[in-house]
Structure 1
Amino acid sequence: MEKLTLKEIIQAVDGEFLKEGKEVIYEAVSTDTRSIEKNSIFIALRGSNFNGNNYAVEASEKGAKICIIDEIAFRIEDFSDEVSVIKVKDTKQALLSLAEYYRSKLSIKVIGITGSTGKTSTKDIVAAVLSSKYKVFKTKGNFNNEIGLPLMIFKLDNEYDVAVLEMGMSNFGEIHNLAKTARPDIAIITNIGVSHIEYLKSRENILKAKMEITDFFEGNNSLIINSDNDLLKELNNLTFNLIRIGTEDKNIDFKADEIILKENYINFRIIDKYGFESPEFTVNIPGKHNVLNTLLAVACGKLLGLSYEQMIDGIKSLEFTSMRLDIVKGSKFTIIDDSYNASPDSMKAAIDVLLNFKGNRKIAVLGTMKELGNMSYELHKDIGRYAKEKDIDLLIVSGEFTEAYIKGFEDIKKVLSYEDNERICDFLKNDIEKNDVILVKASRSMKFEKIVNNLKVINS
């Protein structure tokens, strides 16, 4: 962490001293007393089930030298003489404001990534592509919201060349706040689907919310988009650089050609807008959607001066975030673990990956897709229909929209419905056959990783 002074901190958060302590070299920022480090800054956030102000004294006892609070829920004399206590109007805003100020002290390139699906995979690929030339930081896990992203920014220092930051949202204004904090030099929008349509009501509104990532762009900033997406394809007349990638249109900047999709890798070449053809790209992840994600990363690499050869070398170090299309081949069968989250677009992409596998039966274990609002029933029905069209051998469903899945799939002999994960596990334990391929996918709240863990035990 780069140096921050006490004066800089109180000005950045627009706060007032309740108590001024000893100035030290601050080494970290935390919002959780369980992870307090020595000489850290503790920001007391409020949640629906907790109030961080109640833990400010504990944070100071564990090593925090500054406590930023928005409610006095302690006795000021309980803090040691070394600790500063700063009161602000809103600690969540203070977290964002301090991160924004800290970002302004960093001389690194920031790449912001958003989209309805594929944010995390694209983040991982971008980081790998750039790694052959630059020291790269990338968002850890899913720290991509108004609390997680600022915490990621505080992990940066000027030893890094590039930061690849994921930006998530569920409503208007959230990406705006993240962009204000992170000030990306380059933005990537993976696609516009129906995730969070419960709150935003239309895909057009989702596009508008995602485009907030460019709210602080100037003429020299660049936005990279997936032109295979119908709404992104229509973007034009922007005041900054627009770079298009895809597999369909001819008039784009980077087009994938000679695409080969295998069980555990993709292979393709790239033709750029000048007609130059790249060497062969081989990426050890499955699915056509990851061809598009890789193209987004390649466009980013070109902006930052990498050759195709350097990018291909960087991709060799690709490390994926867990529970996202994790292929687990055991002694008896194959598991496609995509249990981290689910939306209609990612469901179809995962089913396509399942079809690329050689094996006995293709089994899809699917649960509820959240945050789809009034469209939930029809969108679950559509996934059932898609699974039927792709000749899935057995569909196993659970959750509140099992009826929709079944109606879309139609073939009652090849679909099973269960009330909970335990019953699914019991069935699979007794019915699974050698060389079956099993896709497990649902929204995070369904906790389908329990099914995956059970399958791993059976398959060991």
Structure 2
Amino acid sequence: MKESDVSGESLLSADELISATGGKYIGSAENKNLFCFTSVATDSRNVIGGTMFVPLIGENQDGHLYCPQAVENGARILLIAQSEYEKNGGFYDKLVADNAEISVVTVKNTLKALQDAAAAYVAKFPTLVKIAVTGSSGKTTSKEMIVSVLRQKYSVVYTQGNFNSETGLPLSVFNIRKNHEIGVFEMGMNRKNEIKEISGVLKANFALITNIGTAHIGILGSRQNIAEEKRHAFDYITENGAAFIPAIDEFA
């Protein structure tokens, strides 16, 4: 296992993570006392010392296969599916028995748990001004323009590249730190309810819909359905926030 490189306090405590995800802690009291993670990854290749690894289960791939690699790369926390623990509990029990600094938390669904954990983390920064950017096209360009302006005066955290999906948005918000004043995050979608789900993670004060085009129309069926899904970016706008849409738009 690579030597851990954990600096600073854990992004979430063991109790905060368990409360947010409805998870079950696997390990000793000693492990729990050493519980700490300073980054989050869903790809074992991106794991560094001090990472919480969240293996996702897809149609053709099960991320749990890469838990050993994640541990080798320095993962401190494994957030795994309960079904995986029921199948391979011996591996995880031995892992935490042999490594006091490693903890395992089991959850019903790892994607949902990742989102719930991210939402709990965002809630730890009540003064952060949160801006969401979505739309059928122009999201990344709009985000970069907004960030470029705001960085002239404020400390800004923002989506790197187009990390804006059901997994990308939660991973992005784990980059928030105490010094940040404003967060600017993209929201993309490839399926129905995706914007609704990740809006619940960020709970943006301000949100922008760049446009309503035909991207993903094969999935959602119509531009009207796309507009209704994108509108979920506005679900958590506060009284002192605002929603932005193009002045000239069929769905304005």
Q: Distance in 1 between matches of 2:204 and 2:70?
A: 32
Are the counterparts in 2 of residues 114 and 166 from structure 1 also a CA contact under 8 Å?
Answer: yes
Shift of 1:24: 4.1
Task: Return the letter of the residue paired with 1:98.
Answer: A
Q: Are positions 1:123 and 2:143 aligned together?
A: yes
Residue by residue, what CA displacement relative to the aligned partner does 1:402-454 show, whole Å, maximum 9, x if unpaired?
A: xxxxxxxxxxxxxxxxxxxxxxxxxxxxxxxxxxxxxxxxxxxxxxxxxxxxx
Task: Return the letter of the residue paired with 2:19.
Answer: Q
Task: Return the letter of the residue paired with 2:187.
Answer: M
Structure 2 residue matching 1:65: 3-state secondary structure: strand
Hey, what does 2:64 align to over in structure 1?
A: 53
Structure 1 residue matching 2:104: 3-state secondary structure: strand
Shift of 1:142: 1.5
Large movers: runs of 4+ above 3 Å:
none
Give the counterpart of 1:5 among 13, 26, 46.
Answer: 13
Hey, what does 1:77 align to over in structure 2?
A: 94
Shift of 1:218: 3.6
Structure 2 residue matching 1:54: 3-state secondary structure: helix
Are the counterparts in 2 of residues 24 and 39 from structure 1 also a CA contact under 8 Å?
Answer: no
1:294-443 equivalences in 2 (<5 Å): none
Calculate the TM-score normalised by the size of structure 1: 0.48
Q: Against the structure 1 CA distance between its residues 185 and 2, is the aligned structure 2 distance closer, same or farther, given a 3 Å change threshold?
A: farther
Hey, what does 2:200 align to over in structure 1?
A: 180
The worse-fitting range, judged by mean Cα deviation, of 87-96 and 77-86 is: 77-86
Are the counterparts in 2 of residues 135 and 162 from structure 1 also a CA contact under 8 Å?
Answer: yes
Task: Return the letter of the residue paired with 1:97.
Answer: D
Are the counterparts in 2 of residues 57 and 78 from structure 1 also a CA contact under 8 Å?
Answer: no
Q: Are positions 1:114 and 2:144 aligned together?
A: no
Task: Return the letter of the residue paired with 1:96.
Answer: Q
Task: Return the letter of the residue paired with 2:94.
Answer: E
Give the counterpart of 1:18 among 12, 26, 30.
Answer: 26
Q: Distance in 2 between matches of 1:223 and 1:2?
A: 35
Task: Return the letter of the residue paired with 2:18.
Answer: I
Shift of 1:134: 0.7
Q: Against the structure 1 CA distance between its residues 124 and 136, is the aligned structure 2 distance closer, same or farther, given a 3 Å change threshold?
A: same
Hey, what does 2:3 align to over in structure 1?
A: none
Q: Distance in 2 between matches of 1:93 and 1:199?
A: 21
Shift of 1:57: 3.1
Are the counterparts in 1 of residues 36 and 76 from structure 2 also a CA contact under 8 Å?
Answer: no
Q: Are positions 1:142 and 2:162 aligned together?
A: yes
Residue by residue, what CA displacement relative to the aligned partner does 1:122-177 show, whole Å, maximum 9, x if unpaired?
A: 00100011111111122111210110000000111121111110001133211111
Q: Against the structure 1 CA distance between its residues 157 and 2, is the aligned structure 2 distance closer, same or farther, given a 3 Å change threshold?
A: farther
Hey, what does 1:94 align to over in structure 2?
A: 113
Are the counterparts in 1 of residues 207 and 237 from structure 2 also a CA contact under 8 Å?
Answer: no
Structure 2 residue matching 1:85: 3-state secondary structure: strand
Q: Against the structure 1 CA distance between its residues 2 and 128, is the aligned structure 2 distance closer, same or farther, given a 3 Å change threshold?
A: farther
Shift of 1:64: 1.4
Higher RCO (C-alpha 8 Å, min separation 6)? 2
Q: Distance in 2 between matches of 1:24 and 1:113?
A: 34
Task: Return the letter of the residue paired with 1:185.
Answer: N
Shift of 1:100: 0.1
Q: Distance in 1 between matches of 2:222 and 2:64?
A: 38
Shift of 1:67: 0.5
Are the counterparts in 2 of residues 26 and 41 from structure 1 also a CA contact under 8 Å?
Answer: yes
Structure 1 residue matching 2:108: 3-state secondary structure: coil
Task: Return the letter of the residue paired with 1:5.
Answer: S
Q: Distance in 1 between matches of 2:76 and 2:135?
A: 38
Hey, what does 1:207 align to over in structure 2?
A: 227
Are the counterparts in 2 of residues 109 and 161 from structure 1 also a CA contact under 8 Å?
Answer: yes
Structure 2 residue matching 1:195: 3-state secondary structure: coil
Shift of 1:55: 2.1
1:168-247 equivalences in 2 (<5 Å): 168-232=188-252
Q: Distance in 2 between matches of 1:207 and 1:31?
A: 30
Hey, what does 2:74 align to over in structure 1?
A: 63
| Same amino acid, percent of matched pairs | 36
Q: Distance in 2 between matches of 1:217 and 1:174?
A: 18
Query: Highest CA radius of gyration, 1 or 2?
Result: 1
Are the counterparts in 2 of residues 189 and 224 from structure 1 also a CA contact under 8 Å?
Answer: yes
Hey, what does 2:175 align to over in structure 1?
A: 155
Q: Are positions 1:32 and 2:40 aligned together?
A: no
Shift of 1:221: 2.6
Unaligned ranges ≥5, structure 2: 1-7
Task: Return the letter of the residue paired with 1:230.
Answer: E
The worse-fitting range, judged by mean Cα deviation, of 31-40 and 57-66 is: 57-66
Task: Return the letter of the residue paired with 2:165.
Answer: N
Calculate the TM-score normalised by the size of structure 2: 0.86
Q: Distance in 1 between matches of 2:35 and 2:191?
A: 39
Are the counterparts in 2 of residues 171 and 209 from structure 1 also a CA contact under 8 Å?
Answer: no
Task: Return the letter of the residue paired with 1:9.
Answer: L
Structure 2 residue matching 1:230: 3-state secondary structure: coil
Shift of 1:220: 2.8
